Structure 1
Amino acid sequence: MAMRTRSGGTATAGARTGRWAGVALMLGSGLSNQVGAAVAALAFPVIGPVGVVAVRQWVAAGVLLAAGRPRPWTFTAAQWRPVLGLAVVFAMMNLSLYEAVSRIGLGLAVTLEFLGPLAVALAGSRRRADLVCAVAAAGAVAVLTRPRPATDYLGIGLALLAAACWGCYILLNRTLGARLPGAQGSAAAAAVSGLLYAPVGAVALWLRPPTAPALACALAAGVLASAVPFLADALALRRVPVHFFGIFMSVNPVLAALVGTVVLGQRLDAASWAAIAVVVTANATAVTTAARR
């Protein structure tokens, strides 16, 4: 009995240690993602969001190709369709988000982008708690987008486009997970997206030649916002339940607002902070109820 007790205690301690390691990985992933976006913003004045996104897409393609090792010559038409769809979503999501960041700031852009996962979690639900989440999120968006002298409606629209792309990204990844093993689908989509950005990025960088610091910021953004989160999330999902991972992702708008304040000097008022808190809570609640279902 003593041996079993010790073994059980060791297993419990090991599980607890693994859970804390998973939390640390998720926190590191979120911070890396938002710091990467802030570093990318530092390069906007020189090469613009298009140039930064092109470099980021090329870095992401290299990382995911090495990790996923896809074999596109074996793909069927049914497998290629979601791959191509995800490639287009990749391209639009990152560009619309970075254009929004350049106009309305990191914290507000990322908060509005998180409406995409929230919409997916709430889609088709008839639960009262989910309806409350939807109403609360709508109220928070109304606060964040309320008319002010400096309101940039194009930037808000771009952030909402990024939200729609993120929702499509989730749905397409579900389809790819069912049709292709491992990370082959995501890797192939990243490669196609990188190819789509080859002419666009070349023109953007020719029109706005990069300086060494700007190029370094764009490359760092590719590593911090693509490579590190991809690897950290993969390791975290081995240590924590999927629904817990989804809940913890909701902290990203808060991290974005904090990083935007510290790195870029983008300060938000009290009402905006309160609205961000509401969006985070709505996301966490929606993911929790979806996991229970």
Structure 2
Amino acid sequence: MQDSLWQRLLPSLAVLGSVSALCLGTSFAKHLFPVVGAQGTTALRVGFSALLLLLIWRPWRFRPTKANLGQIAVFGVVLGLMNLLFYMAIKRLPFGVTVAIEFVGPLSVAVWTSRRLLDLVWLGLAALGLFLLLVLPMFGVQTNTLDPVGLCYAILASACWAGYIVLGKRAGHMHGGMVVSLALLTAAVVVVPFGIAEAGAKLLQPSILLYGLAVAAISSALPYTLEMFALKRLSSGAFSTMLATEPAIAAIAGMLVLGELLTATQWSAIGLIMFAAMGSALTAKPSAPPQPAAAKAEEPAVA
């Protein structure tokens, strides 16, 4: 009986572990911003993540075709931009707020592909959350107005996450490990030049390289491994529902690791967006089990 209960709980715990590792890794990554900037930090994280996953999956074994490589390249460019924009957003915005805004991207994809009346309710709740975050401060309702440039980066990252999901589903017929490892390699090619332009030789300092490797392992390699385990044992709805806890966990990580304190209004907005994401996942029509290629490699992924 206990073994059966543990077997049922383990996949959910794996998703929570994945989200927690991603949020903690990203919070620690923010400590690199004063040294190498957001672009340099993105280059370290994505570059080392690509190396780690290339070593794990050795994608050349699967002999991808030219058509496969072209599809993966487009996927990787979007993945790289998503990571870069996300890190540039959290440089100017609280971590939890950025993740909440970014979540509107996949929620919009879910609503667009479903087009059910109920999904408009979830989109409306997310829109209300965005109203509390973005519009109310303009009228002086909140004292801590969010940085407008950071908001632009977060909204663009959200759009990239939506594109990431669409492209990831199209690549679902290929081996997930091959897709993600080659896509991260492409993402590294996209973001590393930005990091070099921002930080230059600082990126080669041994202490910075070691810290970047640790961030990549915690925020990419470990979450991806846990998600791979969970995806094989959870339904798409259950997995997405668990994943929707990320904004709250990000806000808590930002508070504990970075000292980022949010207002009651911002917490309410994050709660509304989380509730919308969970509602969309729980009421979604049954579909085929999600492919590893469509799993988030940023936080967020990439992000």
TM-score of the aligned structures, taking structure 2 as reference length: 0.86
Shift of 1:218: 2.6
Shift of 1:260: 0.5
2:153 aligned with 1:164, yes or no?
A: no
2:60 aligned with 1:65, yes or no?
A: no
User: Does structure 1 conserve the Cα–Cα contact (< 8 Å) formed by 2:78 and 2:164?
Assistant: yes
Shift of 1:213: 5.1
Aligned length: 281
1:96 paired residue number:
85
Aligned-partner Cα distance in 2 for 1:229–1:291: 26
2:226 paired residue number:
232
SS in 2 for 1:290: coil
Aligned-partner Cα distance in 1 for 2:67–2:175: 14
Per the alignment, do residues 101 and 227 of structure 1 end up closer, same or farther by CA in structure 2, a change over 3 Å counting?
same
Unaligned runs of 5+ residues in structure 2 are 288-303
Per the alignment, do residues 275 and 200 of structure 1 end up closer, same or farther by CA in structure 2, a change over 3 Å counting?
closer
Aligned-partner Cα distance in 2 for 1:36–1:50: 16
Moved more, 204-213 or 44-53: 204-213
2:150 paired residue number:
155
Q: Which of 151, 170, 193 is equivalent to 2:187? A: 193
Aligned-partner Cα distance in 2 for 1:27–1:250: 10
User: Does structure 2 conserve the Cα–Cα contact (< 8 Å) formed by 1:46 and 1:210?
Assistant: no
Shift of 1:14: 4.2
Counterpart of 1:78, as a letter, is: A
Aligned-partner Cα distance in 2 for 1:269–1:70: 45
The sequence identity of aligned pairs, in percent, is: 31
2:273 paired residue number:
279
Aligned-partner Cα distance in 1 for 2:236–2:113: 20
Shift of 1:92: 0.5
SS in 1 for 2:114: coil
Q: Which of 229, 245, 248 is equivalent to 1:251? A: 245
Aligned-partner Cα distance in 1 for 2:263–2:155: 21
Aligned-partner Cα distance in 2 for 1:64–1:212: 21
2:37 aligned with 1:43, yes or no?
A: no
SS in 2 for 1:103: coil
Q: Which of 40, 51, 56 is equivalent to 2:45? A: 56
SS in 2 for 1:123: helix
2:251 aligned with 1:262, yes or no?
A: no
TM-score of the aligned structures, taking structure 1 as reference length: 0.88
The CA RMSD over aligned residues, in Å, is 2.1
Q: Which of 2, 9, 14 is equivalent to 1:25? A: 14
